[in-house]
Structure 1
Amino acid sequence: MAASWLAIFLMLALSSIYCIVSHPSPDMWFQGLFPPSVCLANARTNTFYGIMFDAGSTGTRIHIYTFVQKNPEQPPELEGEIFESVKPGLSAYVDQPEKGAETVKGLLKMAKEAVPCSHWKETPVVLKATAGLRLLPEPKAQALLSEVREVFEKSPFLVPNNSVSIMDGSSEGVLAWITVNFLTGQLYGQNQTTVGTLDLGGASTQITFLPRSEETLEQTPVDFVTSFEMFNSTYKLYTHSYLGFGLKAARLATLGALEMKVVDGQMFRSSCLPKRLEAEWHFGGMRYQYGGNREDYEKGGVLEVRDFERKAKEVCDNMDRYTSASPFLCMDLSYITALLKEGFGFGDNTLLQLTKKVNNIETSWALGATFHLLQSLGLSH
């Protein structure tokens, strides 16, 4: 399977740097701040915007995209992105849904400042939750989404049907594939070569690529194949999401925390962690007590699979040196190595392109989702 790829983009969602933004007072939010009669900000007539929230397991992120439609026969041009995030993710507010919605309010205020008020009513806002909420009990997940939906409905933006939802893993993989291939110029023009994507998140991991031969598609399970149309072309992709195989879920499995009913603050020990280590970790609304120099993720880089294994051995043989900076590094590198070699079957010399941004745009599924949204609303071609 790996031989059919021109390149592989490995998106390490957990490596993102998050910034905390202050939250506005609920009493002051939106009401009376910008009456229509005093809206003076205007944008070009061929400019439009899209607001996409990524509610992940480790944080909530907002992507505010600006597009310019210069030629109706061509895809719109992405002029820029404003990106911000807050931690923890919505799933951490499993028993406090109102507080979870407050984090969305703070990020949405940024959108009001970024989008000209003349375009608010025609700028769609959508939130898609990923594996963090997929792992929660259905009633608790829906309570969180209901609070967020109420926030959106009070905003001045366009709120489409199903504007707040939990996205299935296959869609997450496909939309990330669209993002990367759009940003690298593979989805339009005469270039028919595409790149595959691996997305390693907190609770799940996705693999997506465009098979080169019909034989690959014929041997693939039906539910691993999806077709869609984008920019006047039809694509049939291999895609699958493995829930529970994200990096933080793998930590819980290694610690044995998935095999029992966990009490908040419970201690877990593992031989994969330094002997004298005792620390605390928060994930998915729970608090865990636990004991027992990679690529610059902003700039990215090209690595071979063997590089992960080599680094894992170096770190695991010298765990005391890495304890204070990154206590999970040995465990994480060992898991990534096993996932790439044993899980996906890549060889030692398979090249991986690690990238967080392309042309200063986040390689998240959010851009692909925004394109799909704007196309469904008839705002782009």
Structure 2
Amino acid sequence: MKRARQETVPEKMRRLRGVIMIICLPIFLVSFVFFLIPRGSLSVDGGGGVLLGRTGGNSKKYAVIFDAGSSGSRVHVFCFDLNLDVQPIGEELELFKQKKPGLSSYAENPEEAANSLLSLLEEAESVVPPELRNLTPVKVGATAGLRALGMESSEKILQAVRDFLRDKSSLKVKPEWVSVLDGTQEGAYQWVTINYLLGNLGKTYADTVGVVDLGGGSVQMAYAISESDAKTAPTIKNGEDTYVKPLYLKGTKYYLYVHSYLHYGLLAARAEILKVDGAAGASCIPGGFHGSYKYNGEEFEASALSPGSSYNKCSEAALKSLKTDQPTCTHMKCTFGGVWNGGGGDGQKKLFVASFFFDRAAEAGFVDPKVPIAKVRPSDFEDAAKRACGLNLEEAQKRFPRVGPGNLPYLCMDLVYQYTLLINGFGLDKGQEITLVKQVKYRDQLVEAAWPLGSAIEVMSSE
């Protein structure tokens, strides 16, 4: 028998070409679609976290945030990877620089206010790779200092800053990124910052920490509350804001109680205490000091009475300044000034207290200024206040050598106010443990416990 001729490969391909086309066509189409997808796209992972796509082949992205506070201007530069984790900039996890005075000190010269940011801008741009500068957002968040100036004056300064960044900066600028933060934004960003650094985001609200941030012009409180408490939140009288902000973070929905108290930051509170009445306010001033206190364009008499400062009388003045008895809360417990306290709960049990609380504690000597975080109790502020009040200026200088000359006349007042704010304002127990925080350790590095990181996370998530 003759052996059948073996079919060649080309002959087989011709015979099966229909089958081959059916198999290859879908593969080709899928490959073509993937080729067309932009590489800089933003997506959300299965857990609700934001994934940043590569842009121009880079796996890192930067954000520059200016904190334009009442006591000074500060710039923060952050670097993020694709998973929105903070990455080192040199040997540190962020660039942080600051200078005084703040923008509100230039109320009569908006251009000079804007130009005061030049050295900070140059520092920030120097750490951003040149090829990424036009992709790097720069935001300016002004806080209580500009809020207190009024809309007309603050808008002139903000416009001058917008023009300054447009002309002088190589970074990505949008007009809406230069604004006055309302207090609730500031408080919410601070809460996000600290809980992000502690690794709490994505956990239940009971596993997060509450935050009190004492700035120069305002003080913010923020903590996560239960959904049932959020549903019972009252409406703020002016109708312009709410007590509760819903946030979606790391696949978890949080109901954030947040409120900002304008005029109750540490520097503003000095003016409020001195306004209560001349005698009571002066009772906080150490013997030997004769002068005046300037805040937000106003000047207040701040000369000591002949007996010097008095802890008890200063406490009375501080309590009156908080207006804890008016207006009263009609149906829910309040903090002070008729403000709802959020209902308390697990999200408030662990309280992190930042900014001027840490600074005064370090200057008063009951916190090591070299440590980034410390456990204290409100009673520690009371004890320090009792040591400071009653001293004349010379004695106070010897007893508290860490306090600068500009703050020394107000040390008794500041410590009394901080204790009064915690106990009579926010309703804490004097023996309750709280955490004073200046920086938080994140991946064996220290990061400033300030709202700009929360703002950076927001802008990077939306870019």
Q: TM-score range by the shorter chain?
A: 0.7 to 0.9
Aligned to 2:243: 224
Q: Deviations over 1:91-136 (max 9, x none)?
A: 0000011111111122101112111101101000010101110111
| Alpha-carbon distance, 1:77 to partner | 3.2
The question of 1:327 aligning with 2:413 is answered no
Name which of 272, 276, 289 aligns with 1:277.
289
Name which of 348, 352, 368 aligns with 1:296.
368
**1:157-306 equivalent positions in 2, closer than 5 A:** 157-188=171-202, 193-211=207-225, 213-222=226-235, 223-256=242-275, 270-279=282-291, 281-285=293-297, 290-292=302-304, 293-294=364-365, 295-299=367-371, 300-306=373-379
Q: Secondary structure at the match of 2:409?
A: coil
Q: Deviations over 1:2-40 (max 9, x none)?
A: xxxxxxxxxxxxxxxxxxxxxxxxxxxxxxxxxxxxxxx
Contact 1:269 1:291 in 2 (8 A): no
The question of 1:341 aligning with 2:423 is answered yes
Contact 1:91 1:285 in 2 (8 A): no
Aligned to 1:47: 60
The question of 1:313 aligning with 2:386 is answered yes
| Alpha-carbon distance, 1:215 to partner | 4.2
Cα distance change of structure 1 residues 361 and 248 upon mapping to structure 2, 3 Å threshold = same
Aligned to 2:355: none
Aligned to 2:116: 103
> 227-236 vs 280-289, which deviates more?
280-289
Which consecutive residues of structure 2, in runs of 5 or more, have no partner in the other structure?
A: 1-55, 236-241, 305-363
Cα distance change of structure 1 residues 110 and 238 upon mapping to structure 2, 3 Å threshold = same
Aligned to 1:20: none
Partner amino acid, structure 2, of 1:157: L
Partner amino acid, structure 1, of 2:129: P
Contact 2:205 2:224 in 1 (8 A): no
The question of 1:64 aligning with 2:100 is answered no
| Alpha-carbon distance, 1:323 to partner | 5.0
Tell me which of the two structures has the higher relative contact order, counting C-alpha pairs closer than 8 angstroms and 6 or more residues apart. Answer: 1
| Alpha-carbon distance, 1:288 to partner | 5.9
Q: Secondary structure at the match of 2:62?
A: strand
- CA separation in 1, counterparts of 2:253 and 2:392? 49
Q: Secondary structure at the match of 1:327?
A: helix
Which consecutive residues of structure 1, in runs of 5 or more, have no partner in the other structure?
A: 1-42, 261-267
> 180-189 vs 195-204, which deviates more?
180-189
- CA separation in 1, counterparts of 2:128 and 2:293? 37
- CA separation in 2, counterparts of 1:226 and 1:207? 13
Contact 2:158 2:179 in 1 (8 A): yes
- CA separation in 2, counterparts of 1:297 and 1:283? 27
CA RMSD for the aligned pairs?
2.5
**1:76-155 equivalent positions in 2, closer than 5 A:** 76-79=85-88, 80-154=93-167, 155=169
Contact 1:226 1:239 in 2 (8 A): yes
**Relative to total residues, which structure has the larger strand share, 1 or 2?**
1
Partner amino acid, structure 2, of 1:205: V
Scaled by the length of structure 2, the TM-score of the pair is 0.65
Partner amino acid, structure 2, of 1:272: C
Cα distance change of structure 1 residues 44 and 289 upon mapping to structure 2, 3 Å threshold = farther
| Alpha-carbon distance, 1:369 to partner | 0.5
The question of 1:363 aligning with 2:377 is answered no
Contact 1:47 1:68 in 2 (8 A): yes
**1:17-32 equivalent positions in 2, closer than 5 A:** none
Partner amino acid, structure 2, of 1:143: K
- Percentage of identical aligned residues: 34
| Alpha-carbon distance, 1:287 to partner | 6.1
Q: Deviations over 1:304-342 (max 9, x none)?
A: 111111211121133442158422111001101111111
| Alpha-carbon distance, 1:232 to partner | 3.2
> 222-231 vs 170-179, which deviates more?
222-231
- CA separation in 2, counterparts of 1:259 and 1:50? 46
Q: Secondary structure at the match of 1:291?
A: coil
Aligned to 2:29: none
Structure number with greater Rg is 2
Contact 2:274 2:300 in 1 (8 A): no
Cα distance change of structure 1 residues 244 and 191 upon mapping to structure 2, 3 Å threshold = closer
Scaled by the length of structure 1, the TM-score of the pair is 0.79
Cα distance change of structure 1 residues 317 and 259 upon mapping to structure 2, 3 Å threshold = closer
Aligned to 1:263: none
Cα distance change of structure 1 residues 62 and 288 upon mapping to structure 2, 3 Å threshold = farther
Contact 1:298 1:355 in 2 (8 A): no
Q: Secondary structure at the match of 2:126?
A: helix
- CA separation in 2, counterparts of 1:44 and 1:77? 19
Cα distance change of structure 1 residues 288 and 83 upon mapping to structure 2, 3 Å threshold = farther
Contact 1:224 1:239 in 2 (8 A): yes
Contact 2:271 2:295 in 1 (8 A): no
| Alpha-carbon distance, 1:67 to partner | 1.4
